A = this chain, B = another copy of it.
Amino acid sequence: MDVQQLFSARGRAGADPELAIILAGPPPGTLGMTGGFPNASTFPSEELTEIATRLVTDEPGLALQYGPSAGLPSFREYLVARTAKLQGREPASDELMVTSGGMECIDLLCRSLLDPGDDVAVEAPTYLGAIMAFKDYGAVQTGVPMDADGIDVDAFAERLASGYRPKFLYTIPEFQNPSGRTMTLERRRALVDVCRSHGVLIVEDVAYKELSFDGTQLPSLWSLGPDVVVQAGTFSKIFCPGTRLGWAVGPAALIAQLASAKGGTDQCAGALSQRLVEEYGRAGLFGKRLPHTRALYESHWVALSAALTRHMPEGVSWSEPTGGMFTWLRMPEGLDSRALRPAATQAGVAYVPGAPFYVEAGGANEMRLSYSSLGEVQLGEAAERLAGVIEAALVTAAR
């Protein structure tokens, strides 16, 4: 039997190979600035040991059992309070649910909202996993331009005024993946207004929100427009990815639908993970640990930024993140980050090419650099190696 003959249309279309490359990790022998993997030194292993021991011993019937699709009641209560505290607005208990990470939340949203042919607006560039998910559900994706202040709301408003009606706009307001940019407060307000008046739902991905270098946070889009925003959050970057946990906050009818859809995928997020994060949070450990995490990434960025400034040839520019894990590097027109990859591997450095982050043409001369995993010295070395690769390509191009 040739099983490939049995594949569905979406099975035949397959996934963007770039994601598999990222998840497989950087090639051996290279300094990897590829994945959005959090730095393992930020994982709360000591605290977890104590909590896990307690949970598994004291409440196996809860922590090791199936749970409701929307999440364990006590964990949802904790998340409601946490959201109220961090975002200045308290969701009702039926406006919040637990997901198996941020990406699963996006998948549940796709299931619940997208029919083939529906329009989805995304930032240009945006998160590769989201692009793949929307494509997988047959959506027609349109890129909305960005600048250093985040998404270009005027450009989006113009499109809407001319009749464009996406089911939703997907945005990552803070330290965006891949660009490292943050949407200003003015833009946030304008975006909520525009979307509200045109009936466009906003899907707000806050994966990096709590990772500002200085510990401050701008108001979430959800807090500004709870009627038109559904927020997807994750504990992968502020706790650890290995527990696969996230949340969705949004209009109650949509949350109910997402929970119902979850009954048909993994049925429920892992109860042990939920109780781990809940106990960790209730003990005040996020507040204790996050400052260290932020300081770590800031020190990484400072090192990378300095090395880029020192080594990069003229005509190369990059974004200036104020948090998170990414900067977005642009080479002179004509250079192609995909074509340069073999030379980079040869030189012992790895990045993610820019083109896959765009739903339309573009990004060939751009690339995403992650500074989460490598230490300061390694980042300096990686920047120097990358600069050498780009310089050599410029010399070749000039011939």
Chain B's nearest CB lies how many Å from the CB of A132? Answer: 5
Interface residues of A in 40-65 (CB under 8 A from B): 40, 43, 45-46, 48-49, 52-53, 56-57, 60-61, 63-65
Selected contact of A264 from candidates B3, B15, B66, CB within 8 Å: B15
**Contact B68 A40, beta carbon cutoff 8 Å:** no
Any chain B CB within 8 A of the CB of A317? no
The count of identical subunits is: 2
- With an 8 A cutoff between CB atoms, is A136 at the interface? yes
A residues contacting B by CB (< 8 A) are 1, 3-4, 6-11, 14-15, 19-20, 23-24, 35, 37-38, 40, 43, 45-46, 48-49, 52-53, 56-57, 60-61, 63-69, 100-101, 103-104, 107, 111-115, 118, 129, 132-133, 136, 167-168, 196, 199, 201, 227-228, 236, 240-244, 250-251, 253-254, 257, 260-261, 263-273
**8 CB-based A-B contacts, threshold 8 Å:** A8-B115, A8-B118, A11-B111, A23-B67, A100-B100, A242-B270, A243-B272, A265-B265
* Bound CA span A14–B111, Å: 11
Contact B101 A11, beta carbon cutoff 8 Å: no
Instruction: Find out whether the CB atom of A40 lies under 8 angstroms from the CB atom of B11.
Output: no
Tell whether, in the assembled complex, residue B45 and residue A266 are in contact, meaning their CB atoms are under 8 Å apart: no
Distance from A142 Cβ to chain B, minimum over Cβ atoms (Å): 17
- Taking a contact as CB atoms under 8 Å apart, the answer to whether B8 and A112 are in contact is yes
Q: Which residues on B sit within 8 Å (CB–CB) of A60?
A: 40, 43, 45, 240
Q: Which residues of B contact A272 (CB under 8 A)?
A: 242-243, 273
Report the separation of the CA atoms of residues A240 and B8 in the bound assembly, to the nearest whole angstrom. Answer: 32
Contact B57 A45 (CB under 8 A): yes
The 9 lowest CB-CB distance pairs between A and B, nearest first, are: A40-B61, A64-B242, A64-B240, A45-B60, A242-B271, A11-B112, A66-B241, A43-B64, A104-B266
Query: With contacts A115-B8, A242-B270, A270-B270 known, is A264 near B132, CB below 8 A?
Result: yes
**Cβ A14 vs Cβ B260 within 8 A:** yes
Whether A240 contacts B65 by the Cβ 8 Å rule is yes
Let me know if B6 and A168 touch, CB within 8 A.
yes
Asked if residues A100 and B266 are in contact (CB atoms below 8 Å), the reply is: yes
Q: From A167, which residue of chain B is reached at the shortest CB distance? A: B6
**Contact flag A112-B201 (CB < 8 Å), given A1-B251, A20-B260, A68-B24:** no
CB neighbours of A199 from chain B (8 A): 1
- Establish whether residues A64 and B45, one from each chain, have CB atoms under 8 Å apart when the complex forms: yes
Report yes or no: A265 in contact with B103, Cβ–Cβ below 8 A: yes
Q: Is the CB of B264 within 8 A of A244?
A: no
Q: Is the CB of A37 within 8 A of B11?
A: no
**Known A-B contacts A23-B68, A63-B242; A49 and B56 likewise in contact (beta carbons under 8 Å):** yes
